[in-house]
A = this chain, B = another copy of it.
């Protein structure tokens, strides 16, 4: 126990929750399952959003906004979709409250909606209902739209960022004139996600496709990126779906192709959510608190001049701190100078560690004399002296080095964590150790059920490079029957 947070070893789940709370990222609200994203956490989400949004635009997408509410009947139009999403939903049944003669307010029974509205759990249905009006011919295609929105999926057991009833996300919904183009889009966006998570969040991922059972409700193929958390469990960090013509058929969206023939439109959808915040926390943090890759840190450098009673020295310290800050800002580095006199240095330092500020710079009177500062890189945790000469360039290089080091560390861990097994016993013991275990299997529900029961592991994905692997001559590790595909299994969030 340090700074009021648990350790990974003592209680991993508690450690995660403590960091989210104590680093001031988010908290549970009094509304069941809904979180409050606090300013520090939201600033990280904003950095993610800005970078993702630019990547979407660079790949030809535009943003739009569709209604929060979906008529209940829309959810039923796509047979698989309704099974997946029409269950745990927030349902709006009335549109008015009135004063209660006994005090307070009550629902006005006269203001009952003819058709109930569901708060969107995802927007395929409402969007494809619009696309029907927008698409007549191949000239209207492709449509490459993204939406940043809140969605609601009622959850009984919630965890901050990882599983909440309301969460924030983006959902891309694209329409195409050919099957190939829609598949290409799904794959492109998976790549965009993988690159973003790698380059910005410093998290390596496995790119793959889901097994049949794990597909998005209404998809013909679900692509996913899977990351490894420090407790050895996998976390699905983003998905991209090839939807075939399923939603076009459900909502009767046809177009005239170049040959003048009428056909149903092809679709993709793809999304990442505030769940990425959970992945970020669990990928890099340590027992001292959050560790943030510099690219998403709200402040990349914090400069703390010592507070002294000698006014001249004090003035010189603060001036030096401000001067360093200005140099850093010119390099585009986000920097904060902390001259708060009401808090002790030890308290401040602990707080910056807890909140994952990548670099801390401290200047005391002796540093000033020696024209140097004391620098600590959050992930290394060791203090070093740096000359004021060339400091901003050195700190800039240190930020790059930290970003790279975090990624390299996680990459090595992920690669090490992928194992194979030659017997079910070996499979079970390796799953218990954590990480991914690859195995050929027969693709049967009963097999999946057995594995889940025995090991708590689930089929995470078929790696892209294994997606077209030839199953002939391969046997299912679990049943000895003919295998159909090679899958990565893991216990997962």
Contact = CB atoms under 8 A, between A and B. Distances in A.
A37 B62 CA distance: 12
Contact of A68 (B34, B66, B86): B34
B89 A95 contact: yes
Quickly give the copy total for this chain.
2
Contacts of A91: 92-97, 107
B93 A93 contact: yes
A91 B96 CA distance: 7
Interface string A117-136: 11100000010011001000
B75 A97 contact: yes
A90 B69 contact: yes
A70 to B, nearest CB: 7
A72 to B, nearest CB: 6
A64 B39 contact: yes
Given A31-B69, A68-B166, A107-B116, A63 B90 contact: no
A36 B97 contact: no
Contacts of A27: 130, 133
Majority secondary structure of chain A interface residues (helix, strand, loop or mixed): mixed
A97 B89 contact: yes
A37 B67 CA distance: 9
A490 to B, nearest CB: 30
A309 interface: no
Given A39-B62, A65-B168, A145-B39, A72 B92 contact: no
Contacts of A75: 97, 105
Nearest to A143: B39
A87 B106 CA distance: 10
Contacts of A145: 39
Interface residues of A, number: 62
A28 to B, nearest CB: 10
Contact of A71 (B30, B42, B93): B30
A63 B71 CA distance: 31
B105 A96 contact: no
A117 B31 contact: yes
A90 B116 CA distance: 11
A17 B5 CA distance: 56
Nearest to A61: B39
A166 B69 contact: yes
A27 B127 CA distance: 13
B64 A76 contact: no
7 contacts: A36-B65, A36-B66, A88-B96, A92-B93, A93-B107, A96-B154, A107-B116
A313 interface: no
Interface string A14-55: 000000000000010111001111110011011000000000
Contact of A118 (B39, B97, B118): B97
